[in-house]
Amino acid sequence: MMRLIILLIAILAGPTNAAAQSSADAEWPKRVIRFIVSAAPGSAGDTVCRIIAQKLGERLGQQLIIDNRAAAAGTIAAEGLARSAPDGYTIGMVTTSTHVIAAILNSKLTYDPIKDFAPVSMIGHSPYVLAIYPGLPVKNVAELVALAKAKPRQLNNAAFGTTSLGYLASVLFANAAGIEINQVAYRSSAQAVLDAVAGRIEMQFSTLSPAIPLVREGKLRALATTGAKRVSSLSDIPTLAEAGIANFEVSLWIGIAAPTGTPQSIVSRLNQEMSAILASPEIIDALLQQGMTAEPGPPEDLGKRIGGDIVKWREAVSKVGIKAE
């Protein structure tokens, strides 16, 4: 009899709890939302996320608080997101570096880039620019390669962590060109750009946002971009493929995810708002100013991008003999 009573209570309580949860989801959001950003303040990724956070907050009727965690090439931020409560009040920036390259090159990664996250939406993608100190006596990629061959391991390249896509781009470039360069670790792309301007390093695969103004002012010299097509804001600069590095194409994507277990209704609402934001001419232009092409789409698109890129970059890493650390 007692078991029957317990069973009846469970049956009656189940729908009530589900209804209560559904009601709570429908009322979301009722307080501020934390937005974990795996980029340093002032960097391109940070600027993009702040643009999105402002508009998303306006549409949701709640403020989004930026929580910058740029250390360890963004993997600390990704870990923090994965371990957050799946209640819709924590979302985070995910990138090619945190969810693809780190999964391949970091043998001690503390999160699973697929199982521990609920994809929300892509934000967009952007190539890098190969930029050099203008005092370096080279005008194009061919001359840079010739100089590097004449002075092996004497050219310093700024690397934003050894599990970042920018670092991998430099390794793939050096391998394809048959040169040896010296990798210098930096905490952020923005800081590396400043050191390139000052001549403390010779080259960097930089995100576009901090580099473009300096290129225009003559404080940096752009030799090539890394995408499949030229960048409209640097239309006179060739791609690396055009500059003689055959089939070279590296672009960084940025998206938004939540912890696994976040209610589907909340994920769907976030994606709906992101789709509207990324279709806005104002936001499209604002992202282009940061060198990023908006890429709205359903959550599944981000999930497929992560899985597909892990396969793609694992193969590329294997070909050049890079091993996980």
The torsion angles phi and psi of 251, rounded to 5 degrees, stand at: -135, 140
Average pLDDT over all residues of the chain: 90
Question: For residues 185 and 217, which has the higher predicted lDDT (pLDDT)?
Answer: 217
Domain-embedded: residue 244:
no
The per-residue pLDDT for 209 is 83
Q: For residue 173, what is the enclosing H or E element? A: helix 165-177
pLDDT digits (tens, 9 = 90+) for 76-96: 999 999 999 999 999 999 999
Number of domains in the chain: 2
Distance (Å) of CA 89 to CA 53, 77, 96, 215, 283: 13, 15, 23, 39, 23
Of 223, 222, 166, 207, nearest to 289 by C-alpha is 207
Cα separation of 184 and 292, whole Å?
26
Residues 257 and 121 in one domain: yes
Domain-embedded: residue 276:
yes
HSE, side-chain direction, 13 A CA sphere, residue 24: 13
Q: What is the CATH number of the domain that holds 215?
A: 3.40.190.10
Contact 103, 113 (CB under 8 A): yes
Does the pLDDT of residue 281 top 50, yes or no?
Answer: yes
Q: What is the CATH number of the domain that holds 66?
A: 3.40.190.150
pLDDT digits (tens, 9 = 90+) for 167-198: 889 999 999 999 999 999 887 777 888 899 99
The per-residue pLDDT for 192 is 84
Which residues neighbour 135 within 8 Å (Cβ) at sequence distance 6 or greater? 199
pLDDT band at 323 (very low <50, low <70, confident <90, very high): confident
Residues 219 and 146 in one domain: yes
- Domain of residue 263 covers 32-125+252-320
